């Protein structure tokens, strides 16, 4: 038996694209699964770097406006949230097309040994950069333990 293998979907994708394209394509819905905003609605890709003095987190967030992004630190957890609303209107000859997409993403990280009051965030060119300065570790003085 010879079977043809088909990919389930794009890496990191949400849907089995071949199935959905076959289902929606003939109905005239077009190729909406290939829109560039779809993967961005499903995840926040990040790079995390550690230096001796700080943690540096860079999150890819293209297409978001600064005012749509929220960063919060609470009880040792850093959370990034973003919300996007997009409307596309097309008017040509005998038809009108209006598409709307709404989406919210969030990602949380457990962060220990930092100075929360000194966390700094900057958003530029689709990259959210968060710098988390490390706290000085407090060390207890050593103690000899007697064995009974």
- pLDDT per residue over 13-71, tens digit each? 445 555 444 444 444 445 544 455 454 445 799 999 999 999 999 999 988 899 999 99
DSSP 114: B
Q: Cα–Cα distance between 46 and 58 in angstroms, integer?
A: 5
pLDDT band at 9 (very low <50, low <70, confident <90, very high): very low
Please say whether the beta carbons of 81 and 88 come within 8 A. Answer: no
What does the pLDDT read at residue 6? 46
The mean of the pLDDT values for the chain is 77
**CATH number assigned to the domain covering 43-133:** 2.60.40.790
Q: Cα–Cα distance between 85 and 67 in angstroms, integer?
A: 12
Sign of the CA dihedral with 11 first, then 12, 18, and 19 last: positive
Domain boundaries, given as residue ranges, for the chain: 8-42, 43-133
Query: Between these two residues, 139 and 89, which has the higher pLDDT value?
Result: 89
Contacts of 54 (CB under 8 A, 6+ apart): 131, 132, 133, 134
When mean pLDDT is compared across 43-47, 104-108, 112-116, 142-146, the lowest value belongs to: 142-146
Q: Which of 66, 97, 101 is nearest to 80 (CA)?
A: 66
Collapsed DSSP state (helix, strand, coil) of residue 51: coil
């Amino acid at each position: 038996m010879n079977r043809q293998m088909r990919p389930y979907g794009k890496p990191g994708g949400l849907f089995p694209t071949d199935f959905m394209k076959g289902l929606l394509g003939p109905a005239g819905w077009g190729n909406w699964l290939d829109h560039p905003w779809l993967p961005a609605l499903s995840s926040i890709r990040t790079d995390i770097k550690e230096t001796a003095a700080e943690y540096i987190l860079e999150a890819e967030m293209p297409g978001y406006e600064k005012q749509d992004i929220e960063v919060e630190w609470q009880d040792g957890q850093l959370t990034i949230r973003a919300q996007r609303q997009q409307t596309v209107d097309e008017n040509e000859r005998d038809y009108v097309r209006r598409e709307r997409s709404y989406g919210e993403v969030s990602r949380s990280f457990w962060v220990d040994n930092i100075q929360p009051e000194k966390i700094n965030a900057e958003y530029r060119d689709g990259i959210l950069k968060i710098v988390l300065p490390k706290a000085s570790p407090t060390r207890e003085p050593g103690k000899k333990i007697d064995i009974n």
